[in-house]
Structure 1
Amino acid sequence: MKRILVVSTTGMGDSLWGTPALRSLKKSFPGVRIDLLALPAWKSLFFENPHIDRLLEYRPQWYRQLALAARLAGHRYDHTLIFHANKDFRRMLGWLRCGTLWAHQNFDWIPPDQKTSFPDKVHGIERRLVLIEKIGARRDGPDMEIYFSPEEEKQTAAFLQENGFAPREFVYVNLGASLPHKRWHADRFEVLCRKFLEETPFGVALGGGPEERDRMHSLCARLHSPRAVSVQGRSVRLNACLIGKARMMVTTDTGPMHIAFALKVPTVALFGPTDPRDSGPFEVDDRLCTIIHAQRNGVPLSMDISGQIDYFEPIEADEVWVRARALLDSSTGLQR
């Protein structure tokens, strides 16, 4: 065996879920070259990763796929493992020169004998670990990983100092989500942030994507505290490095939640339209994570797939605050 191609061309969380399997592959086959396809948005999450030999950028548009196809056609892979992809990847199959191909998604363009099958509720990390076992690799644990350079650590330390923060002395509150119905209520975020500012010595870092810029700045202005700062505009990697320095994160089910899990940051994770069995923590120490799954009359709201209800209406700020205080106590001394 000389080369393995890994395909991971979807979201941030999906990308990070592949890191335990990538580590397992490299430790199982240290002399084998591992190439990884990743989207431009999340490619940087794999920088500095010692388990990847070549990182290739994947773009879904057909005319951009042509250049990548030419690069891939120049190599023969012993195995191609599709950790996660969308249907646009189908166009690439004719260009791949590989001995075997394995996937776990139920695409009709992948032959049944090249797909692993699972019950409905199996976490994405577990799916990827089962996939690598198909080619003889051994698991090396479920922990996700992100690696940072000394320069990134230096820049993050400077950012903290400029804002009067210190490592483990602030809470990262993530306001963002990819879709509006996956966002917790802005007024409840405000109540929670005030609790942290008034009843703990911690600062509050308000994070989110570009679409949350106005929400972050507005909340920061309303809090009107030198211990509250908006961190919008930082790169994916520098934002991840900052999350890694936090004492705690509060977030809905989003990509940054998985960054926190990877970096062993205690996390209060709010689930509304999504099921934590699918996309929540996987074998994370209970002392480092607490889940609040929105329910009504004992029924999880994630069972309603209409997208037409207020999924987070049952989750009040006081409940999140109580769970956050308990997690602060249980996680004391566990962070690196």
Structure 2
Amino acid sequence: MTGLLHPARSRRVGIVLLTGIGDVVHGLPLARDLKDQDPTREVVWVAEAAPAEVVRNHPAVDRVVVFDKKAGVAGARRLHDAFRSRPCDLTLNLMRYIKGAVASLLTGAPVRIGLPPSKTRDGASLFSTLSLSEGPWQHTQDLFLRFREPLGIPTSAPVGWDITFTPEERTEAAAFFTRVRAVAGGPIVGLVLATANRHKDWPAARYPALARALIEHFGATVLLVGGPSEREREAADAIRSAGVPVVDALGNSVRRMMTRVAGVDLLISPDTGPLHIAHALNTPVVGLFGHTNPWRVGPWRRDHDLVVDRYTDPGEAPDASRYDPRDGRMERITVADVTAAAARALGGRR
């Protein structure tokens, strides 16, 4: 299957990666690969509304098409209409589930390359005209980079995420952090308080003690980073009720969240989108893992010394092929564990 992408037959290439934010981050290097291979090629990305914000302004993505899955048949019809006059020549479907397979079909591409059948569900691989070869589970980034083979791109090619902010976004973020640093003598540490899956959350009751420890040990200014979900707000309220001073940057703008992740000195996060955005932006990140495997979905090839890993048992070798979730493990992470990882990241500075 090596080198299927012939420039004369692939003027428009689609990438279907609908959700979540972390997965979309892992897909970004493929957009760069496609554009580096042929700068005149049109690269089109299909995503749901919130993850689509990660892709906006990316230098290698020419068009972002938002798929409203919740709209049902009407959403599928709108996606079909978006490609009716300009179908793709080839589409990469990076999704496991049937919704990604349907979206790839609606791009109109006669060639649709998907994940290995064993890595898909609900018959999604049946919609692919070609599938990657089988193999064990591996880090999500490594799995996605396997699409380089049918694209004819060397596996040793540089990997870049190229998250790009507009001048207006950079100006707003600079003004925000100027205000924060005007009253902060130490590092700015971002805290991500919840995920889309409560099993991946660190106990909310521990965040007040962590925020206090960051202030007392490192002279940190604590910045709350993330969205407006109920669990995030409950954790933020718990911190404030404990009398711990924090800067609240929670909100419903994905792009604003990304600029906050870019501007902090350190991010502390469970397994959720901001963690992977931090990695792509080269922001140091302490990852909190217990429910999911950090060697499969954690920071890729960097910051492993900052990962608090309660997924892997003592004496057990790190194994990216393990896919199964482990319930009840996030509760094993203590405030002292997280503070120690923060100290490694910050070098004990105050």
Partner residue in 2 for 1:183: 201
Of 95, 107, 114, which aligns to 1:84?
Answer: 95
Secondary structure in 2 matching 1:13 = helix
What do residues 141-184 of structure 1 show as CA deviations (whole Å, max 9, x unaligned)? 23333111111111122223444467983000111111221111
Q: Does the CA-based 8 Å contact 1:77-1:97 persist in structure 2?
A: yes
CA–CA separation in structure 2 for the residues paired with 1:204 and 1:46: 28
Partner residue in 1 for 2:3: none
Of 225, 235, 238, which aligns to 1:218?
Answer: 238
Give runs of aligned pairs for residues 100-249 of structure 1, distance below 5 A.
Answer: 100-104=111-115, 105-107=119-121, 108-111=123-126, 114-138=130-154, 140-163=157-180, 164=182, 169-211=187-229, 212-225=232-245, 228-233=246-251, 235-249=253-267
Q: Does the CA-based 8 Å contact 1:81-1:132 persist in structure 2?
A: no
Identity of aligned residues (%): 25
Alignment partner of 1:52 is 2:67: no
Q: Spell out structure 1 runs of 4+ moving beyond 6 A.
A: none
Shift, 1:79, TM fit: 1.2
Shift, 1:299, TM fit: 5.9
The 1:95/1:152 distance shift into structure 2, 3 A limit, reads closer
Partner residue in 2 for 1:256: 274
Structure 2: unaligned runs, 5 residues or longer: 1-9
Amino acid across the alignment from 1:56: V
Partner residue in 2 for 1:25: 34
CA–CA separation in structure 2 for the residues paired with 1:306 and 1:127: 19
Secondary structure in 1 matching 2:112 = strand
Q: Does the CA-based 8 Å contact 1:3-1:35 persist in structure 2?
A: yes
Q: Matched residue pairs, number?
A: 326
Amino acid across the alignment from 1:269: G
Shift, 1:241, TM fit: 0.5
Q: Does the CA-based 8 Å contact 1:28-1:138 persist in structure 2?
A: no
Of 290, 298, 317, which aligns to 1:272?
Answer: 290
Shift, 1:3, TM fit: 1.0
Q: Does the CA-based 8 Å contact 1:102-1:114 persist in structure 2?
A: yes
CA–CA separation in structure 2 for the residues paired with 1:304 and 1:83: 17
Q: Does the CA-based 8 Å contact 1:160-1:166 persist in structure 2?
A: no
CA–CA separation in structure 2 for the residues paired with 1:91 and 1:250: 36
The 1:94/1:150 distance shift into structure 2, 3 A limit, reads closer
CA–CA separation in structure 1 for the residues paired with 2:73 and 2:130: 24
Q: Does the CA-based 8 Å contact 1:2-1:32 persist in structure 2?
A: yes
Secondary structure in 1 matching 2:13 = strand
Structure 1: unaligned runs, 5 residues or longer: none
